[in-house]
Structure 1
């Protein structure tokens, strides 16, 4: 009898959670028209993305000017969004603005901002704005060349809190960003990484919340050319440090 009651309560809880997630998703979807409006108003060099946090593997449910990052509807959550959800970094913030964004397949520099969509005091979605500032940076470098030639350079201290975000087209792409950066830095292919290199990569991915994705360990194992059990062992070692 007790087991039957426990099972009944569990079923009711699962049903409530499922209904609540569906309501969250419907609420987030109500922001889709705003995404397309902002995309048109801000211009083709600014990407506007709507994320539904209930499904990190394919969190993008609407996007305007997706050519900026190469993403589309169904692309995964970013490492910053995962970190926010995991660490509660945005607990007392409505938004964060003006941090650098990076695209795996492009050297273009982005300026990114994120607005947190809340329902019942929970973050249920985000609106992200990513502006390709390549043209501005080219102009800025030209101005700086003139400035350095004729004016002294002021010494300005960085005092504001900083954020960084890496935009990926797929879950696999997010891990590839980390390994490609380390491979370029070390001058060796990923499959030749030492144990220390592999642990460093696992620490980086873990800090970015990558292992919240389904199949993340399997993806990393394939990239490193090791078995899934070995990748799990590296992850446990990285998390224990």
Structure 2
């Protein structure tokens, strides 16, 4: 399927090594989105280097029957045409149907490379005929993701708030662990904060030291011990 068939010049794009690296890194995003959203979502990554074989990564392709090496869609081509005429056009959501006539809710997002030129498309297709039970199962803990493996994630407005919330969580955990000697509790708190990457945040050492009522040197001492 060539651009000339749509009254447009050849849509193939010459990619630089940087452009190719950007698209390669996007493959990880495809995997992550598919894992997060579940099997009712098809995630497709297109490279505009060759629109005849543009699909370079696809997850859950059974919804449309496509595989890697497949061509770009007619909508993808029309969107590239829109980009040329509409500044700031980077994405579009719409409803479509697969070959079986089954409804999809779709979104196509432009991936830009060096100089802001379009180099690829990230497409998400949600299968609207998905059974309700399937949607529930993909969004609730299961044998694969049980409650006991759920992670408490702090959504903070500032880094200071993030530090303090993490500190409160870990202090509570350490306080209820009878296997940790009282004299080693601060050391363990610092170690666990370090495991979370908290000390990569500016001024974290000073904030933690102040709230644990210990010196910054003591925090650094515990950190050195954790690295050994």
Alignment TM-score, normalising by the size of structure 2: 0.47
Larger Rg, first or second structure (1 or 2): 2
Structure ranking higher on relative contact order (CA contacts 8 Å, 6+ apart): 1
Structure 1 length-normalised TM = 0.45
Q: In proportion to residue count, which structure has more helix?
A: 1
